[in-house]
């Protein structure tokens, strides 16, 4: 079976879709990566359309369009080629998000440095724990050095919550590249955002083994 990463967080606007798209591109070097848009708002599918309409060099990604029982067959097909599936999920612990978490080898929970994001993220971590899936918080839109970030990090440590070592800064290129159907690695390979994304992907790849 392929490795499956579910990007989940009950709170909307935390950065799930941005992380899923950018991580898929970052991990597509050297392996087959498929994205599965499990969010009925379909922002990832719209990103795909922009991507297909655009010009220039882009990483080859697959997009899974299947639902329900067929997903098992698709995962097996991709798994035969040592593939990876990244699932973007809806902002609620509804059936689809729960199923994605249940089938994941790693659950990533993006959160912005604000208490409501942390409270919502804890709910998603509890869900992952209930399903016995490994999970990591991913600090997103985190100002490099700020009191807010420091207090969030202290809070995360105090509660013993698992968190990725690499955080993503608040960088406009995440929004502008997404609007062009690209990842930050493709739109601005020399940007700080691209460096962070590459480091984050390396940390995730190491966790998957
Ligand atoms: N690291 C970042 N820096 C700047 N903007 C970001 C970053 N991550 C996400 N965003 C922006 O925040 C908004 C919400 O992100 P999105 O990925 O759609 O969240 P979700 O899928 O969790 O609802 C989008 O406008 C996106 O461009
Ligand atoms: Mg989304």
Domain boundaries along the sequence of the chain: 3-208
183 CB less than 6 Å from ligand 1? no
Q: Are strands 62-64 and 106-111 parallel, antiparallel or unpaired?
A: unpaired
Cα 177 to averaged position of ligand 1 atoms, centre (Å): 11
47 CB less than 6 Å from ligand 1? no
pLDDT digits (tens), the chain, 209 positions: 569 999 999 999 999 999 999 999 999 988 889 999 988 899 999 999 999 998 877 899 999 876 665 666 666 676 666 689 999 998 987 777 888 888 899 999 999 998 899 999 999 999 999 999 999 999 999 988 788 888 888 999 999 999 999 999 999 999 999 999 999 999 999 999 999 999 999 999 999 98
Answer positive or negative: Cα dihedral of 106, 110, 115, 121.
Answer: negative
Q: Which of 42, 83, 82, 84 shows the shortest CA–CA distance to 65? A: 42
Q: Tell me, rounded to whole angstroms, the distance of Cα 35 from its chain centroid.
A: 10
3-208 CATH: 3.40.50.300
Cβ atoms 142, 153 nearer than 8 A: no
- The secondary structure of 4-67 as a DSSP string is EEEE--SSTTSSHHHHHHHHHHHHTTTS-EEEEE--TT-HHHHHHHHHHH--S-----EEE---
Tokens 């009191």 locate to 147
Residue closest via CA to ligand 1's atom 23 equals 13
91 CB less than 6 Å from ligand 1? yes
Q: Ligand 1 pocket: which of 175, 176, 196, 199 to mutate (most atoms <8 Å of CB)?
A: 175
């Amino acid at each position: 079976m392929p490795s499956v990463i579910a990007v989940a967080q009950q709170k909307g606007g935390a950065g799930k879709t941005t992380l899923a798209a950018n991580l898929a591109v970052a991990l597509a070097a050297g392996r087959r990566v498929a994205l599965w848009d499990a969010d009925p708002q379909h922002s990832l599918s719209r990103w795909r359309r922009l991507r297909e309409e655009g010009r220039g060099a882009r990483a080859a990604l697959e997009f899974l369009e299947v639902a329900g029982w067929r997903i098992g067959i698709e995962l097996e097909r991709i798994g035969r080629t040592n593939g990876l599936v990244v699932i973007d999920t809806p902002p609620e612990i509804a059936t689809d998000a729960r199923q994605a978490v249940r089938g994941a080898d790693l659950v990533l929970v993006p959160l912005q440095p604000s208490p409501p994001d942390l409270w919502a993220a804890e709910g998603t971590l509890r869900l992952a724990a209930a399903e016995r899936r490994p999970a990591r918080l991913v600090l997103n839109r985190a100002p490099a050095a700020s009191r807010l970030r420091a207090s969030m990090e202290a809070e995360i440590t105090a509660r013993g919550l698992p968190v990725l070592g690499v955080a993503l800064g608040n960088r406009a290129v995440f929004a502008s590249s997404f609007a062009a159907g690209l990842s930050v690695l493709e739109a601005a390979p020399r940007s700080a955002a691209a460096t962070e994304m590459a480091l984050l992907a390396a940390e995730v790849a190491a966790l998957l083994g």
